[in-house]
Structure formats: structure tokens, C-alpha cells
Structure 1
Amino acid sequence: MSHLPSAIRHLPSALARLQTIRKRRALAWGALAYAGIVFAGAFLGAEITLRSKTKWVKGVFVPIGRRGNDIFLPAGVETMSRGVVGIVPLLPNKGHAVLGPQRLAGTLVRRPVLQERGVLPNGALAWVSTFVYNGTPQQLGIDFEHTVVQTPVGEMPAWHVPPRKGDSDAIAIVIHGHGGQRAQALRMLPALMRSGVGSLFVTFRNAFGAPRVGKGYLGLGDVEAEDVLAALHWAREAGYRRAVLYGFSMGGNIALSVLREKFMPFPIPVTGVMLDCPALEWRDTIRWQAQRFGLPKLLARHVGRFTEYIVTRRSGQDFDVVDQLAAAPGFKVPILLWHGTRDRTIPIRQSDALAAARPDLVEYHRIEGGKHIRVWNIDPKGYDRALEAFIERVLPGVNRD
């Protein structure tokens, strides 16, 4: 080998060093790319967490066909959803209908009309949604009043639906979720009215239509609880003497946050809480959302941790304060809980954990096939029965309709 040129003799070691350099560079680029995904995902997650709000109730606009009592819709995620949907034709047509379970009819979806107000004409372009309603209680033919709840940070708009029997002393405070709308809970209003209570559909700071506070950042339940506490003061001034809280998604976290000792004694007693697909532990929810968008579990965990850091730095949010699973041992009032197995927004394991932690307080309805805050749609009559029975139990003596 000694007669070979020096360059040739040192070639294997040079190749080995080159491969080592390439591996190091590849690892460095890989680490940089990983960090970039974490940072980008966390900043996006923090922005959604802090600022999410929607002007319109979620739904789709589609042309409709009508034959007698049957409505025909193009097949899609919303129109093929399990259970009932609502439909509203666009102007100049006026009307609203609740449609029953779907059946495929060739390339179309066929649904029967269960309830109808106004006119739902053949050929109209219409809004279709699993939230069923997109207006005010007037869309159901129910009288109500626009009002405001006075809070330390401004006037929060609300709808007040008085009880049908004027001597009722009980009210349900209805709290929408993160980026949500009051209209999303109109599906349950008939059951609330039959139960004999008044209803106050509230909103909270930095939600759509409510006052902007500070930089406009949403909290995750704790600061919004102050606005719901103000709603209890409103209820007392309006003549009510007892209340239940009824929260959807983040609204469920708000309702449970109101129960903290710092807010006691309440202006009027809170005798029960109803929760529909509640967000009970935000760290878990953020990780779940990261995985939902395709990130591997380890990467989702890192994105979640950095999202928590950014949210805390921007808004001062303490995630421990809104951890309702950790707070569960301190709850003292009965809880009615619904959650759907197809919830892609809040993992159902959170409600499973709450029900397991407090079986003495929690009446749990685990709805097979239910989507996020759409479990009512799967079995409206069963949902309403549970709601009315719970109110009768925690508000004894209320005059039912």
C-alpha cells in the first residue's frame, strides 16, 4: 500500500469524516425544523386560544329541494350529520325548519320536516346547521327581551326569557363557549321553559358582541366567571331567588369557576350546574387539538407546553386555576353532564374523569356518536328529559309548564 498516492490512502478516513459532518448537519437541520414546527404551532395555538371569536353560527349554505314534507340537500359533512339539523332560507324568503334524521337518496340527503315556521320553499338557497338556530329566541316564536349585565368591565349583552308562569323564582344562566354564540343553546330553550325557570343567555368579555377589555384576550374561564357572577346579581335585581348554571364547552369551565370560594356567598344560591361537552383541563385540550391536526404525540406535547407558555406570558393566564379536574374534590352542588364520543374539540376523557372523580354529584350522559356540543341532536327527547328532571331535582317547587 505504501506505493499508493497519499490522497488515495487517506480517502476512507476522509469519507468517514464527510459522512459524520453530513449526519451532524442533518441532525442540526432536523432539530431546527422541529423547533420551527413547535414555535409555529405554539404561536398559532396561542392566537386561537386568546382571540377566537365568530360572528356567525357555524353552518353551510346549500340549495334545497322540497317534495311534500321531505327536504333534499347536497351530501356534505353538515347535511349528513347524525340527528336533527336546522335550516333557514336566505332572504327574501322567511322561515325556519327543524329537519329529522338523514337518509341517502342517490347523491342527495333526504330529511323530513319535523317543525316549520314560515315558508321553506323548493329551490331556495338556505343555511343548514347542526346548531339548528342562528337567530334569537324569536326564531322559535318565544318572547324575550334584550338586556345587559352590568360588570366592572362594561355592559355584557344578554337575552332574558321570562318564565311562562310569572311567579317562578328560579333562573338558568346559559353560558356559551370559546368563540361561540348565544344562539347555539337555543335548541334547549323549549325544555328550559317547560321546566318552569326563566333563562338568561349571557356573553362575556372579549367574546363577539361583548366589550373589548385590555388587549382583547379571552381567558379560559376564570376572569369570565366574574361576568357570570354579575349575571347572578342581575338575576337577584330581576326578582329571582335561585339559579342553575348551564355551560357549553368553555362555558362549562366558566360555570365551574364561579363555584370557587372567592365568589361566595353568591347573590342568589346556585343549586346545580349543567355542562355540555365542557373544557375541564386546558393543557390536555391544547395537546388534543395539536394531535387532531396531525402532529405526533411527542411533538403535540411540546407544542402544547410552548402554547401554554405563550398564553401565560401574553395574558397572565394561570392554567392551574382553570383545571377543573384538580378542583373536582371541592365541588358541592349536583352536576348534570353530557359529552359525545365523537367530540373532536374537547376530549371526552375529561368528562369521564370528572364523572369518575365525583360519582356522588355527577349525573353523566355519555352520548355515543355525539359531536362537540351537538349531543342534543342525537336524542333531543332524551336530552330534554334529563334536563327537565335535573332542574326539578335541584330546584324543587318550580312550577313546571
Structure 2
Amino acid sequence: MNIRQHFRLQNLPRTLAVAFAAYLAAIFLGALVGAEVLLRSKSRWIKGTFMVVGRRGENVVLPPLPESLSRDVLGVVPLNPVRGHALVGPVERRSPYVERPVLEERGVIQSGWIAWVSSFVYNGTPAQLDVEYENVVVHTDIGDLPAWHIPAESGERDLIVIQIHGHGGQRSQGLRVLKSLQRTGAAQLYVTFRNAFDAPRVGKGYLSLGDVEAEDVLSALEWARDNGYRQAVLMGYSMGGNIALSALRPGFTPHPIPVRGVVLDSPALEWRDILRRQARRGGLPQVVAKPVGRMIEKIVTRRSGQNFSSVDQLAAAPRFDVPILLFHSPSDKTVPFWQAKALAGARPDLVELHAVEGARHIRCWNIDPERYEAALEAFIQRVKA
């Protein structure tokens, strides 16, 4: 044995100890960051990219960036939103710039304008769709929740669709289906749940992943009853889907008005699995991602008292008793598609699953709006009394 080998053997225990300490530190730091994001995530800005927009006839011209190159239908909103708004379709040209056709337009989008471009399409209020609406508040024990109320075009107060945004999201997530829901004859209520942006903060501002937020859905149903509505459909996006299903549990029933059905878009149904997958998606190797996921669960439970079993909607599947329309994509990297398949498999008598190939998280509508809206409208017509 030479001197170098002897030196290495002597220092092996120290090297292993340092490596193990680094491993533990990576788990702990990753878990702290993950827990903070899970508990408090909210933003005043809707996800999108600011770009200089060009115009070529009935097409818009955009720089070749990930958002402009995506398969999604996109929204283009100038910095001064009163100047216009456009929906643009599939990519027709990719190099040296991206060219996409204008599908709908309010005002005229002009060359040289800086615009917000996003697959969330809308970043404002229903006014972006030239739809009249009311700013209302939903009264709760923790304060008033801001909401948009869009009455049915007929003026009839029968069915109302209550829109529930996702984790870190805002009401405008649901505006993509506003016109579709109008065609069903239903009214709409877009509610902001507690501890989200622009809503009352409760305690330390921790989210409960669908558990306590379900009380806000109950308050929205009370608002609907007090304003003359007779039945409701709940529509939730991502965590909003978990909130909608949590509102079906026995502690919240019977409801102030009957809930005839639930529409879910990319719903978060089992959070423990999502935590592990998000840790892996963040670049952590599998050997670190699994313990990080478990550590996040422990930290969140210790800080907020979160009961992950109470928001496990796959375990709760046997108790559901209303029809469920479910949109999800095998390409979703935020909430795994297997959860949607598991729910549909557990309750084939209630769940109508639409698998949307190639869609990102909460972007099922963007891949094929006509197909999405046809399924949505048919479901609403089927479930309303």
C-alpha cells in the first residue's frame, strides 16, 4: 500500500461523514423551501411573458420564446389593456420569429406594442371578454371574499357555476370558459378563497390544501342561495379541484343549495405524491427527492396542523355522490395523470375523464378549446335539474 492509498483510507470516515451531512442538509433545506411554497404561495401576477408584438395581416409575430412556441392557445394583452386583447392560435411559423393567427380580437393589436403573452389567456376581469359583471363579496366568518358575479344572460336565477382557482392562482384562471358557461344558460361566481392574493389573511396565512378552504365554497353556496339561485355546479382548477371535492364531505352537507355536479381541471387529489414528484422535478435525485417529500409533509403538519389524509380525495372517492367531469393531461408535470386515472377507475359510475394529450398543468382548454367546451356544456346540461 502506498502513501496515497493509506491517506485515503485514513480519511474515508471523514469523507463519508461530510457526504452524509451534505445529504441531510440538502433534504432539510429542500424541505424548508418546499414547505414555505406549499403553505404560502400566492402572487399578484398571472404567469406569462412580456414580449414585443409584431403584426402581419391577420397574424401576430412574436419572438421565439418557450411561451410563444407552446402548443397552447395564447392570450395577448398590451401593457395598456384597454387598447385591445387577442386570442392567438397554433404556430404557423417558428423561425426566425413565431407567427400565429388571431382567433379573436378586441380592439386592434399593433406592431411595436409590448404585451403580456400567456397560456392563461386573461389577466384581468370579465371586461376583457366584453362581459358585464358585478364585483360582489362573499361573507364568511374570517372576512369578505372578493368575487365576480356574472348573471345568466336570460336573467333567470336557477343554476350557478362556482369557479374555484388553484394554489397560488387567481380568479382569472377560469375566464377561459366564461363564454362557454354563458351558452349553457348558467350564471357564474368567481370566488377568491382565503389566504390567496386579494383575499383575507387568516392567522399566519397558511393554505390548508383544500381542507379549510372548503368552508369558503360553503359560504359561496350560501351567497348563491341568498341571491335567489336554486342549484350549483362547482368547478375547480388544480388545488381548487381538491377544495371542490372537500366541500362534498359529510361535514359540509347538506349544502345551502344542491350541488348537481363537479368539474375538475388538473386536480390535485393526493398531496403526498405531488410533494415527492415536485421535489424530483426540482432537480433533486430520487434518493433525495423521496425523503424531501416526507420531510415537507412533516414540516407542514408541524407548522400548520395540516392533515394530509383529510385532503386525500382518492381515499375519499367512495363517498362522492355527484357526477364529476374531469380534464387532465398525461403531460402534466405538476400533478401526475395517474391520480385522475385512479379517481376515474375508483368511480366509473360518476367520473367522466377526458385525457388531453400534450397539455401543461391547467392548460387542457388551450389544446382544443372547442372539444373542451363541448364536453363542459354537455355536462352542465346533463346534470342540472
Fold match (TM-score > 0.5): yes
How far did residue 103 of structure 1 move? 2.0
Q: Is the 8 A contact 1:63 1:124 kept in 2?
A: yes
Residue among 322, 338, 341 paired with 1:352: 341
Q: Is the 8 A contact 2:167 2:240 kept in 1?
A: yes
Residue among 220, 227, 230 paired with 2:216: 227
Please name the residue that 2:98 is paired with.
Answer: 109
Tell me the percent identity. 59
Q: Is the 8 A contact 1:83 1:102 kept in 2?
A: no
Please name the residue that 1:184 is paired with.
Answer: 173
Please name the residue that 1:170 is paired with.
Answer: 159
Q: Is residue 385 from structure 1 mapped to residue 374 from structure 2 by the alignment?
A: yes
Output the amino acid matched with 1:240. Answer: Y
Query: Given the superposition, is the C-alpha separation of residues 122 and 299 from structure 1 closer, same or farther in structure 2, using an over 3 Å criterion?
Result: same
Output the amino acid matched with 1:34. Answer: Y
Tell me the distance in 1 between the aligned counterparts of 2:317 and 2:350: 10
Tell me the distance in 1 between the aligned counterparts of 2:43 and 2:346: 34
Larger Rg computed on CA atoms: 1
How far did residue 219 of structure 1 move? 1.2
Tell me the distance in 1 between the aligned counterparts of 2:371 and 2:81: 36
Tell me the distance in 1 between the aligned counterparts of 2:359 and 2:7: 57
Deviations 1:178-213 (A, max 9, x none): 000111110100011101110000011110000111
Please name the residue that 2:298 is paired with.
Answer: 309
Please name the residue that 1:30 is paired with.
Answer: 19
Output the amino acid matched with 2:161. Answer: A
1:54-69 to 2 correspondence within 5 Å?
Answer: 54-69=43-58
How far did residue 153 of structure 1 move? 0.6
Please name the residue that 1:261 is paired with.
Answer: 250
Output the amino acid matched with 1:26. Answer: T
Task: Single out whichever of 270-279 and 24-33 deviates more from structure 2.
Answer: 24-33
Output the amino acid matched with 1:45. Answer: G
Aligned residues: 385
Please name the residue that 1:160 is paired with.
Answer: 149
Tell me the distance in 2 between the aligned counterparts of 1:167 and 1:16: 85
Tell me the distance in 1 between the aligned counterparts of 2:47 and 2:95: 26
How far did residue 15 of structure 1 move? 8.2
Q: Is residue 212 from structure 1 mapped to residue 201 from structure 2 by the alignment?
A: yes
Task: Single out whichever of 93-102 and 263-272 deviates more from structure 2.
Answer: 93-102
Unaligned runs of 5+ in 2: none
SS of aligned partner of 1:64? strand
Tell me the distance in 2 between the aligned counterparts of 1:360 and 1:207: 34
Residue among 146, 150, 153 paired with 2:135: 146
Normalization by structure 2: what TM-score? 0.97
Output the amino acid matched with 1:233. Answer: E
Tell me the distance in 1 between the aligned counterparts of 2:130 and 2:309: 43
Q: Is residue 51 from structure 1 mapped to residue 40 from structure 2 by the alignment?
A: yes
Tell me the distance in 2 between the aligned counterparts of 1:263 and 1:74: 49
Q: Is residue 337 from structure 1 mapped to residue 339 from structure 2 by the alignment?
A: no
Tell me the distance in 1 between the aligned counterparts of 2:72 and 2:301: 39
Tell me the distance in 2 between the aligned counterparts of 1:107 and 1:317: 50
Task: Single out whichever of 206-215 and 84-93 deviates more from structure 2.
Answer: 84-93
Q: Is the 8 A contact 1:177 1:251 kept in 2?
A: yes
Please name the residue that 1:9 is paired with.
Answer: none
Q: Is the 8 A contact 2:69 2:94 kept in 1?
A: no
SS of aligned partner of 1:146? strand
Q: Is residue 366 from structure 1 mapped to residue 355 from structure 2 by the alignment?
A: yes
Output the amino acid matched with 2:151. Answer: P
How far did residue 102 of structure 1 move? 0.9
Task: Single out whichever of 329-338 and 22-31 deviates more from structure 2.
Answer: 22-31
Tell me the distance in 1 between the aligned counterparts of 2:254 and 2:94: 57
Deviations 1:110-150 (A, max 9, x none): 11111111121111111111011111001100010000001
SS of aligned partner of 1:222? coil
CA-based RMSD of the aligned residues comes to: 1.5
Deviations 1:210-234 (A, max 9, x none): 0111011111000000011100000
Output the amino acid matched with 2:337. Answer: I
Tell me the distance in 1 between the aligned counterparts of 2:276 and 2:346: 22
Unaligned runs of 5+ in 1: 1-11, 397-401
Query: Given the superposition, is the C-alpha separation of residues 219 and 92 from structure 1 closer, same or farther in structure 2, using an over 3 Å criterion?
Result: closer
Please name the residue that 2:310 is paired with.
Answer: 321
Query: Given the superposition, is the C-alpha separation of residues 16 and 74 from structure 1 closer, same or farther in structure 2, using an over 3 Å criterion?
Result: closer
Tell me the distance in 1 between the aligned counterparts of 2:140 and 2:88: 39
Please name the residue that 1:84 is paired with.
Answer: 73
How far did residue 342 of structure 1 move? 1.8
Output the amino acid matched with 1:326. Answer: A
Q: Is the 8 A contact 2:74 2:88 kept in 1?
A: yes
Q: Is the 8 A contact 1:337 1:362 kept in 2?
A: yes
Output the amino acid matched with 1:182. Answer: R
Please name the residue that 1:295 is paired with.
Answer: 284
Please name the residue that 1:3 is paired with.
Answer: none
How far did residue 294 of structure 1 move? 1.5
Deviations 1:1-54 (A, max 9, x none): xxxxxxxxxxx6998875444221111111100000000000000000011101
Tell me the distance in 2 between the aligned counterparts of 1:190 and 1:237: 25
SS of aligned partner of 1:274? strand
Tell me the distance in 2 between the aligned counterparts of 1:17 and 1:92: 71
Tell me the distance in 1 between the aligned counterparts of 2:146 and 2:232: 19
Q: Is the 8 A contact 1:75 1:107 kept in 2?
A: yes
